[in-house]
């Protein structure tokens, strides 16, 4: 079943189904809960800023979100775009890229997408407002621009985009027909849209991870799937790599060492991140404590580099912020 057919089936079940006695399983679907929250904001035409930790596969999340918004009610047409091509690009190149993307929101065809070429930051802000106004007036259906990779955009361009959106939103406090989602791995001050909620893209819950692994590897025994889901910690990149690696090998590995081998190149990438982090003696000691599987009270000066590296997740316990390794797989890679 392709992605669109699967989404339509799920939507039909939600509309026609009665109360589910297993509803608590839905609440344990952490990534699904994030998707519901974001969909609600976008259907209201609210902007959203999303923090996407490393290895969280934001593109897949946004593509699924776009399908849900398109087939649900009220329908919202989406344009999903990666901002990664702007890595290392100049401010003027970033202006042109962003304006071309905005022009494509209301253009009937790709050939009709025409964007101005600003010569200053003021000109860029004015052009963004013009594009948003034109989409507001000409778009056939409500539109949402879902972008990820904001960390690759020059900070001044993000700041100007935010200011232009603020003026547009002020001019249209109600019945807006266009909105923005800005996602990035770095929680920087420039990645900000006025009045936009800040949402963290969560990893899969255990049941979600098991279901995703089945979709990539094929059917397996329940005990194996549960073990594999726990091994990945729900990290989307790990889930994908393990599922596709298992399919290539014909079955899910039964041992942790076998699952590490099934990760392929991703295991080298994760080891590299761990080795870089552990080059600092304080962080190496912290990793050693975290590898025991316990949650530890947050120590910002030590945990921030691990957060930036995508190796830990935060939680709230007994009124304190705590941290833990994102996946048991990291313990095996540490050893």
Can you give the pLDDT at residue 244?
Answer: 95
**97 against 319, higher pLDDT:** 97
Residue 114 lies in a domain: yes
Domain C-terminal end among 173, 200, 227: 200
Residue 227 lies in a domain: no
Q: Which tens digits make up the pLDDT trace of 96-127? A: 999 999 988 876 554 556 788 899 999 999 99
- Coil, strand or helix at 73: coil
C-alpha distance from residue 31 to each of 38, 62, 204, 234 (Å): 11, 12, 5, 9
What domain range includes position 285? Answer: 278-335
Can you give the pLDDT at residue 15?
Answer: 53
Q: Which tens digits make up the pLDDT trace of 234-272? A: 999 999 999 999 999 999 999 999 999 999 999 999 999
Statement: residue 19 has pLDDT above 70? no
C-alpha distance from residue 277 to each of 52, 274, 306, 309, 310 (Å): 20, 5, 7, 8, 11
Can you give the pLDDT at residue 21?
Answer: 43
Q: Which alpha helices (DSSP H) does the chain contain, by range?
A: 3-16, 23-27, 30-43, 58-71, 91-106, 121-138, 155-171, 206-217, 222-232, 236-249, 256-262, 265-278, 281-290, 300-308, 329-334
Residue 143 lies in a domain: yes
CB contact at 8 A, 92 and 116: no
**189 and 283 co-located in one domain:** no
Residue 233 lies in a domain: no
Can you give the pLDDT at residue 115?
Answer: 81
Domain C-terminal end among 200, 218, 238: 200
Domain C-terminal end among 200, 235, 269: 200
Confidence of residue 8 (pLDDT cuts 50, 70, 90): low
Residue 307 lies in a domain: yes
Pairwise CA distance, residues 256 & 288, whole Å: 19
Exposure letters 23-44 (e unless 16+ CB within 10 A, then b): eeeeeebbbbebbeebbebbbe
- Indicate which CATH number applies to the domain containing 85: 3.40.50.300
Confidence of residue 294 (pLDDT cuts 50, 70, 90): confident
Can you give the pLDDT at residue 316?
Answer: 79
Q: Which tens digits make up the pLDDT trace of 179-234? A: 999 999 977 666 788 889 999 999 999 999 999 999 999 888 999 999 999 999 99
Concatenated DSSP letters for 278-296?
HTSHHHHHHHHHHTTT--E
Pairwise CA distance, residues 224 & 251, whole Å: 10
- Coil, strand or helix at 16: helix
The residue whose two tokens read 């406090």 is 173
Statement: residue 81 has pLDDT above 90? yes
**28 and 139 co-located in one domain:** yes
**174 and 29 co-located in one domain:** yes
Compute the mean pLDDT over every residue in the chain, rounded to the nearest whole number.
88
Q: Which tens digits make up the pLDDT trace of 115-158? A: 888 999 999 999 999 999 999 998 888 999 999 999 999 999 99
Residue 320 lies in a domain: yes
Beta bridge partners of 81: 147
**175 and 37 co-located in one domain:** yes
Pairwise CA distance, residues 117 & 101, whole Å: 13
Number of domains in the chain: 2
Residue 66 lies in a domain: yes
**293 and 189 co-located in one domain:** no
**14 and 140 co-located in one domain:** yes
**315 against 58, higher pLDDT:** 58
Residue 183 lies in a domain: yes
Pairwise CA distance, residues 32 & 55, whole Å: 17
Q: Which alpha helices (DSSP H) does 172-221 contain, by range?
A: 206-217
């Amino acid at each position: 079943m392709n992605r669109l057919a699967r989404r339509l089936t799920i939507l039909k079940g939600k509309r026609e189904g009665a109360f589910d006695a297993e509803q608590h399983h839905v609440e344990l679907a952490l990534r699904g809960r994030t998707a519901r929250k974001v969909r609600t904001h976008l259907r209201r035409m609210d902007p959203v800023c999303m923090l996407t930790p490393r290895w969280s596969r934001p593109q897949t999340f946004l593509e699924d979100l776009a399908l849900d918004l398109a087939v649900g009610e009220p329908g919202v047409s989406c344009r999903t775009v990666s901002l990664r091509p702007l890595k290392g690009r100049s401010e003027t190149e970033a202006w042109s890229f962003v304006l071309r993307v905005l022009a494509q929101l209301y253009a009937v065809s790709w050939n009709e997408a025409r964007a101005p070429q600003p010569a200053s930051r003021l000109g860029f802000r004015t052009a963004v407002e013009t594009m948003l106004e034109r989409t507001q007036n000409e778009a056939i259906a409500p539109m949402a621009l879902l972008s990820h990779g904001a960390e690759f955009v020059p900070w001044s361009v993000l700041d100007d985009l935010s200011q232009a959106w603020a003026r547009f939103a002020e001019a249209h406090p109600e019945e807006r027909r266009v909105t923005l989602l800005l996602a990035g791995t770095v929680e920087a001050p420039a990645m900000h849209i006025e009045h936009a909620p800040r949402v963290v893209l969560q990893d899969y819950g255990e049941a979600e991870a098991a279901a995703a692994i089945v979709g990539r590897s094929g059917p397996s025994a329940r005990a194996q799937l549960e073990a594999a889901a726990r091994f990945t910690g729900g990290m989307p990149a790990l889930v994908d790599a393990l599922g596709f690696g298992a399919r290539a090998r014909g079955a899910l590995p039964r041992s942790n060492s076998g699952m590490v081998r099934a990760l392929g190149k991703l295991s080298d990438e994760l080891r590299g991140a761990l080795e870089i982090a552990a080059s600092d003696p304080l962080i190496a000691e912290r990793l050693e404590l975290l590898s025991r599987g316990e949650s530890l009270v947050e120590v910002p000066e030590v945990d921030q580099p691990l957060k930036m590296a995508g190796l830990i997740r935060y939680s709230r316990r007994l009124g304190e912020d705590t941290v833990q390794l994102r996946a048991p797989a990291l313990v095996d890679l540490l050893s």
